[in-house]
Amino acid sequence: MLRLLFLLSLLLLAGCTQEQIPITKENASQIHASNPSGIEVNSKKLIESKTDQATSQPSTFGTSKEPIIRDQEVGVIPTSLSIPAIEVHAKVMNVGLLENGQMGVPTDYMEVGWFEPGTKPGDRGNAVLAGHVDSKTGPAIFFHLEKLQVGDEVIVTGEQGENLTFIVRDKKIFPKDNAPVFEIFGYTSRRMLNLITCTGTFDRKQGGHIDRLVIYTELKEDNQ
């Protein structure tokens, strides 16, 4: 059931594969990715899972005189990413569904993609940024991502110029067809930002790397 809450491709990047995923009206609600990631794409379930989080608990506020305390939203629409430890400074582009029915990918190997229908960096949940590890001509923006260590900082700048600092909490490598999708993309009460790129051996037959590297970062306390 958890896989049905939010099924996305971990990496729809040319650095991992040259293919994009065609999404039609017939298969938009649940489509199995044909690219090497092997992970289903289900943008409809993303919206439903967010709604479920807001409505799953019965409300008793209607008859209460107690003030309602609303959770502070600090999320930003990211425009740039900085990772001092590996000297990364990159523009961030929104990634969503294109008019032609395909899921967008960073067209520039030195840019990073943010899945815009998902969580904003800084809000509660798992925001996701993905970048190329390499290209046909050499290293790409996330080539040195694997060098990050727990405690390193990741800085996201929003469209209003605001900066949010995230701290690396963990890093894991998963086989491309056996990654914990809910752990990476699903809901959490923490304010997480997960960075994804390809890693491992390059499979020439499939045209992509066999593994995925995920860097888990969390919003620094003084930003909350």
Q: What's the pLDDT tens digit per position in 108-119?
A: 999 999 988 889
Is 132 tagged catalytic? yes
**Which of 142, 199, 148 shows the shortest CA–CA distance to 170?**
148
Instruction: Select which of 16, 32, 89, 132 is catalytic.
Output: 132
Amino acid identity at 149? Q
Is-catalytic flag, 209? no
In CATH, what number is assigned to the domain containing residue 45?
Answer: 2.40.260.10
161 within domain boundaries: yes
In a domain, 67, yes or no: no
Lowest mean pLDDT among 91-105, 119-133, 202-216: 91-105
Q: What is the mean pLDDT of residues 88-97?
A: 90
- Give the pLDDT confidence of 163-176 residue by residue, as tens digits: 999 999 999 999 98
CA distance 25 to 9: 18
160 found inside a domain: yes
Query: Catalytic: which of 16, 32, 144, 198?
Result: 198
Q: CA-CA distance, 110 to 137, in Å (whole number)? A: 12
pLDDT confidence tier of residue 101, bands split at 50, 70 and 90 = very low
| pLDDT one-digit tens code per residue, 41-92 | 355 554 455 545 544 454 444 555 666 656 678 899 999 999 999 999 999 9
Number of domains comprising the chain = 1
Phi, psi of 49 (to 5 degrees): -65, -35
Whether residue 63 lies inside any domain: the answer is no
Phi, psi of 86 (to 5 degrees): -120, 15
Of the two residues 95 and 50, the one the predictor is more confident about is: 95
Which residue range is the domain that position 214 belongs to?
Answer: 2-53+74-223
Model pTM score:
0.74
185 domain residue, yes or no = yes
